[in-house]
C-alpha cells in the first residue's frame, strides 16, 4: 500500500517551487512567499503550501500579482491545492477577480511500477519530437483536443528544448500523417520527480490504448534515468486511466485565472 501522507509530503517539498532550467525570455522572481513566473504566454504564481499571510496582508499580496500582470497587459494564473493554507485563499482570489478553472486530481505514481513496453494500435507510431514544425503540429493538436488556443505550446516546448534538452522529452503518437496523441515529460534534477504534461488524445482515438502507451513510454524513460516518482495534474479524462495504471491521488488542484479587462 502506498503511504499517501509520505507522497504528499514529498510533493509539497519538491514540486511546488521546483528548481528547473529557465527558458530564454522567462524570469522567475519572488514577491514574499510566492514565485512569480514572467515571460510565458501568461503569468504564473506558484506558492508553498502555507503562504504565511492572512487577511489584509494576503489581499495585498494577491492584488500585487494581479496589478503586476495588468500593467503588462497579460493574464495570470495562481495554482491552489485543496490542502493549501490559509483555507480562505480561494475566496480571496475570487474577491480579487480571479476565476476558478476546472479542478484536477493530483496523482503520483512510481515510475518502476508504471514503466512498460508501449503497446500501440496497428499503424500507430510513437516518435520523439524536437523540430519546430512538429512542435507546431503538437500545438494544433492540443488546441483541437482542449477546445481553446494552445498555439503558445509550440514556443514553450521549443524554449525548453533549447534551454536544456536533457530536462524535457516530447512524444507524439501518429497514425500516418495524423497526430493522435501528444505528451511531454519535465525532469526535475535533484529530486525524485518527473512531471508528466500534455497527455492529450483526439476524441475519436480515446479508448484505444494510445494514452496508456504514451504513459508507459514516459514512465519507462523516467525509470531508466533514475527518477522514482511521476506527477500528473490529471483531467477527468486522464485520471481514471492513471488510477488503473497504479497512480495514487494525494490532493486536488485548481487554477485561478485573472484576465485583463478589454
The answer, yes or no, to whether residue 137 has pLDDT greater than 80, is yes
Which residues lie below 8 Å from residue 61, measured CB to CB, with a gap of 6+?
31, 32, 33, 34, 51, 53
Quote the radius of gyration of the chain (alpha carbons, Å): 18
Q: Which band of pLDDT confidence, cut at 50, 70 and 90, is reported for residue 97?
A: very high
> Can you name the residues that pair with 232 across neighbouring β-strands?
107
Looking at domain 109-252, its CATH class is alpha beta
DSSP E strand stretches across 134-177: 168-175
Mean pLDDT computed over every residue of the chain: 96
Domain 4-104+254-258 matches domain 109-252 at the CATH topology level: yes
| Distance from C-alpha of 77 to C-alpha of 65, rounded to nearest angstrom | 10
- CA distances 83 to 48, 90, 102, Å, are 11, 11, 17
* CATH architecture type of domain 4-104+254-258: 3-Layer(aba) Sandwich (3.40)
Q: Where are the chain's structural domains?
A: 4-104+254-258, 109-252
Q: Taking the model in full, what pTM does it have? A: 0.94
Q: Let me know how long the chain is.
A: 262
Condensed to tens digits (0 to 9), the pLDDT of residues 35-67 reads: 999 999 999 999 999 999 999 999 999 999 999
193 φ/ψ angles, rounded to the nearest 5 degrees: -105, 140
Amino acid at each position: 500500500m502506498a503511504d499517501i501522507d509520505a507522497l504528499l509530503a514529498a510533493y509539497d517539498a519538491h514540486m511546488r517551487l521546483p528548481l528547473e532550467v529557465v527558458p530564454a525570455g522567462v524570469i522567475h522572481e519572488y514577491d514574499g512567499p510566492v514565485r512569480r513566473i514572467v515571460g510565458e504566454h501568461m503569468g504564473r504564481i506558484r506558492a508553498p503550501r502555507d503562504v504565511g499571510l492572512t487577511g489584509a496582508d494576503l489581499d495585498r499580496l494577491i492584488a500585487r500579482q494581479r496589478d503586476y500582470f495588468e500593467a503588462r497587459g497579460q493574464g495570470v494564473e495562481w495554482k491552489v491545492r485543496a490542502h493549501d493554507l490559509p483555507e480562505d485563499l480561494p475566496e480571496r482570489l475570487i474577491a480579487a477577480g480571479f476565476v476558478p478553472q476546472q479542478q484536477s486530481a493530483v496523482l503520483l505514481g512510481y515510475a518502476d511500477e508504471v514503466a512498460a513496453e508501449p503497446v500501440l494500435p496497428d499503424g500507430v507510431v510513437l516518435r520523439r519530437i524536437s523540430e519546430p514544425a512538429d512542435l507546431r503540429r503538437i500545438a494544433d493538436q492540443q488546441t483541437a483536443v482542449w477546445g481553446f488556443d494552445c498555439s503558445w505550446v509550440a514556443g514553450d516546448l521549443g524554449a525548453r528544448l533549447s534551454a536544456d534538452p536533457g530536462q524535457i522529452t516530447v512524444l507524439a503518437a501518429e497514425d500516418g500523417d495524423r497526430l493522435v496523441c501528444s505528451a511531454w515529460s519535465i525532469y526535475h534534477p535533484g529530486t525524485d520527480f518527473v512531471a508528466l504534461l500534455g497527455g492529450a488524445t483526439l476524441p475519436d482515438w480515446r479508448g484505444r490504448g494510445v494514452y496508456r502507451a504514451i504513459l508507459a513510454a514516459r514512465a519507462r524513460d523516467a525509470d531508466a534515468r533514475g527518477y522514482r516518482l511521476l506527477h500528473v495534474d490529471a483531467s477527468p479524462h486522464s485520471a481514471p486511466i492513471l488510477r488503473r495504471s497504479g497512480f495514487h491521488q494525494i490532493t486536488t488542484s485548481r487554477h485561478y485565472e485573472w484576465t485583463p479587462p478589454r
